[in-house]
Structure 1
Amino acid sequence: MKTRAMKFVKRLFAVALFAPVVAMAAGAALHLDKAPVSTDPAALQNGAKVFVNYCLNCHGASFMRYNRLKDIGLSEELIKDNLLFTADKIGEQMKIAMTRDNGKAWFGAAPPDLTLVARARASEFGSGADWLYTYLRQFYRDPNRPTGWNNKVFENVGMPHVLWELQGDQVAHIEEKDDGHGGKLKEVSLELAKPGTQTTAEYDKTVADLVSFLVWMGEPMAESRKNIGVIVLIFLTGLFVLSYALKKNYWKDIH
């Protein structure tokens, strides 16, 4: 029994000792750029336009209704005239016609619903916004892939680069180096071979607006919740001051 207990303690100690090293090694392989997420209505409106025109063909947002776009400053008429492509009524959900089976057959995997994608990626990488912002800017041409595209962040992704006309064509320069442990470490650097209709700065801004909209869509009440939190803290601070003054007045004659 004592021998088993000692072995268990040694294994537990080894896990505790090396787990941080393994985590740092795994995290170092993926560099994420900081996403300039904005809550400005103009940025969110542009992000909604990009989402509807480029993403909503394959990805649904079935937990979001079109009329919620009024929360970012769009009128009902603007939504109907410019964004209502996959539904007949403004109160309907942002769904798509493509089924999961069709998506799996065409892309190898069913395109995920994007309503909560920023929050889902946050649980994996700490910041869903940073992951999305980096991912959407790291596509490159790859003739070995069925779609003709690959991604530096999500290797062998089934999704094609739907924003390629805006960004242009990037090509990858791949170099394999010794990782110092008998294995190979692949380094991928990207180069813009053919410019798109937007400059690099303009495309980065477009992606930032799209990511901002995806973050907003995951929790539309986030700003209201934060504002309510500030009001509550101010109220509690005032209540504390009044309570302390009442306490001092109540106990002033008692020694």
Structure 2
Amino acid sequence: MRMKAMKKLLTALLFTPLMALANGPEVNLDKAPVSTEPAALQNGAKLFVNYCLNCHGASYMRYNRLKEIGLSEDLIKDNLMFTADKIGEPMRIAMQRDEAKVWFGAAPPDLTVIARSRASEVGSGADWLYSYLRGFYRDDKRPTGWNNVVFENVGMPHVLYELQGEQVAHIEEKDDGHGGKHKEIHLELAKPGKMSKDEYDKATADLVSYLVWMGEPMAETRKAVGKGVLAFLGVLFVLSYLLKKNYWRDVH
């Protein structure tokens, strides 16, 4: 009995995701124009605090680290701290997890390392987030009234719809060439938002850039140190080779 139960569990774990992928829409992720410029990261931080931090926490990021992207302590306190009293506190939310499960069906995930956790074989975590934030469309069958091209049947509503506007989906089923079918979804802007398409794309790119930075604030420093180490090893190799050549000169 235990062996049969184990087989059923392994079958569900291995094949259910594959069946969902086969029947779900075909997703092509757009390349995210990730930036490390302070202005882009600051705008991304503003969007994150105003639109994401209501439901999603970033409990492994402290407000004072925002000084690393060029923000002063006063700017952080006056414009970005709505759920904390001290600048050294983590970016937590007031909503309780059990309440979130009732409202949304599942507790919204912490976003501190979301850009790293969403990396896959079809694209980086930044590409996934960039496509996701631009992939919402109206769907009256969903409890929130929204669906998403990248994350089908998502429980999250489109919190940026005032900026982007409302998109509608044109869904077409096509043969996948292996006896099955897949859905192709084409989005059309039915109701404009406060931003033009280019402005919204830039805003989401800044937000994604901030999420990428938040997942590893020391990334640029690490890369700079790595380049320095490689340069040092290169010089050391040349010196070692010359020393070896000089040492063995009389032998050869």
Which interval holds the TM-score relative to the shorter structure? 0.7 to 0.9
1:104: which partner in 2?
A: 101
| Mapping for residues 10-159 of structure 1, pairs under 5 Å | 29-123=26-120, 125-159=122-156
Evaluate the alpha carbon distance shift between residue 221 and residue 166 of structure 1 in structure 2; reply closer, same or farther with a 3 A threshold: same
Q: Give the counterpart letter for 2:149 in structure 1.
A: K
Q: Pick from 197, 204, 207: which aligns with 1:207?
A: 204
Alignment root-mean-square deviation, CA: 2.1
User: Which of 1 and 2 has higher RCO (CA within 8 Å, sep 6+)?
Assistant: 2
Distance 1:185 1:250, change over 3 A: closer
Structure 1 runs of 4+ aligned residues shifted over 6 Å read: 24-28
CA-CA distance at 1:55 after TM superposition: 0.1
Determine helix, strand or coil for the equivalent of 2:118. Answer: helix
Specify the alignment match of 2:4 in structure 1. none
**Counterpart-to-counterpart distance in 2, 1:130 and 1:180:** 27
Structure-2 separation of matches of 1:250 and 1:81: 66
Q: Percent of aligned pairs with the same residue? A: 78
Q: Does 1:216 align with 2:185?
A: no
SS of the residue 1:85 aligns to = coil
Which letter does structure 2 place at the counterpart of 1:37? V
Q: How many residues align?
A: 233
- Deviation of 1:25 after TM superposition, in Å, equals 7.4
Counterpart-to-counterpart distance in 2, 1:77 and 1:244:
55
Larger Rg: 1 or 2?
1
1:234 to 227, 231, 234: 231
Structure 1 letter corresponding to 2:99? N
Structure 1 position 185, deviation (Å): 2.6
TM-score for the superposition, normalised by structure 2: 0.87
Tell me the amino acid that sits aligned with residue 113 of structure 2: L
| Cα shift at 1:176 | 2.7
Give me the whole-angstrom Cα distance separating, in 2, the residues matched to 1:150 and 1:98.
23
**Paired residue for 2:11?**
none
**Residue in 2 that maps onto 1:254:** 251
Structure 2 letter corresponding to 1:207 = T
- Rounded to whole Å, the distance in 2 between the matches of 1:239 and 1:181 is 55
Q: 2:139 touches 2:146 (CA, 8 Å); kept in 1?
A: yes
Q: Whole-Å Cα distance in 2 between the matches of residues 36 and 126 of structure 1?
A: 13
1:191 aligns to what?
188
Structure 1: gaps of 5 or more residues: 1-21
In 1, distance between residues paired with 2:111 and 2:161? 20
CA distance in 2 between partners of 1:28 and 1:153 (Å): 8
Paired letter, 1:127: S
TM-score, scaled to structure 1: 0.86
CA drift of 1:94 comes to 0.3
The answer for the alignment partner of 1:10 in structure 2 is none
Cα distance, 1:238 vs. partner? 1.2
Q: Which sections of structure 2, spanning at least 5 residues, go unmatched?
A: 1-18
Worse overlay, 41-50 or 25-34:
25-34
Question: 2:166 & 2:144 partners in 1: Cα distance?
Answer: 14
DSSP 3-state at the match of 1:191:
strand
